[in-house]
Structure 1
Amino acid sequence: MDMKTFKINDAATTQALGQRLGQIVSAGDVILLDGDLGAGKTTFTKGLALGLGIERNIKSPTFTIIREYKTGRLPLYHMDVYRLEDGGGDELGLDEYFNGNGVCVVEWSQFVASELPTEYLKIAFKRDDRDLDSTNRTLTITAHGTHYTEILEQL
């Protein structure tokens, strides 16, 4: 398991890192985004979508659970499974997404841990809470599997 840490101090840098990842991901990739509300998960996903060539505005899928964007180099499946903290992930057919031809981004992945594939890229977003107005973040990216280690090395 390989790991890299990025210190980020604004939304533009968060988005740029996402955009870089969007340029190197391939079909079937699964990216988990974990962190508190407002930590930058959706901002990162907006960048990832740009890297895939998706120009539509990316909104947090909190209420729809899954949003699909199919106008880029690869389809993007953006999932926010926060509302599944009491279970129910097995009814969504997540396997079909994870084994499909797109890129899956899963926010709050701990709530569907039993549904996740064994290999993925996990990004933990940590806010600098010393100053509530701070835009400083630490992103810790962990690769689970050889394919994701190769992606991590390109970031």
Structure 2
Amino acid sequence: MNAFAQTPAPNLVGDYNLASSTTVPASTWGYSKGRISIKQLDDRHLLILFACEWKREPKAVCGDHYFAQQRDDGLYLQDMNTDALRLYFDPATRKLTIISRGYDAKESVRHDIFSATSAPLTDTALLRRMKREQANASDKENLRVFGPYQKRDYQNNRIEFQRQSITTP
């Protein structure tokens, strides 16, 4: 058994505001604002709600939701619509980083950083989008088609936890 399995995963539950959204090569394929809310569903599952606003098209639909499962060897995202995402969490700074691979001609990569916040969400567009993602996550039709989150596959995409640097006295 590896060392990671012997220590519990850091607690991601909470709210996060977009701190930066950049792309390589530089483009407008990024967010002007965003919010992530991570909720504990049961002892092994999390719900990640994401509401955002696109830089180039502020009124366009922008948001998503993901389920994650805690296992002995880590915390995994659902194996559905997550192939182009990588998530990293730094427990020391409580920053969540999402790296997204684009399918455009330039093969863009977006790098989004979210910082933990305790401030209530007051932006009306983000509030509306967050409510929509919450409704989508618990939608009866999604449940019928994809099954309950407890029965889904969580194999291919682990949320990586950044290790704190070790200092010697």
Task: Tell me the TM-score normalized by structure 2.
Answer: 0.28
- Structure with the higher helix share, 1 or 2: 1
Structure number having the greater strand percentage: 2
Larger Rg: 2
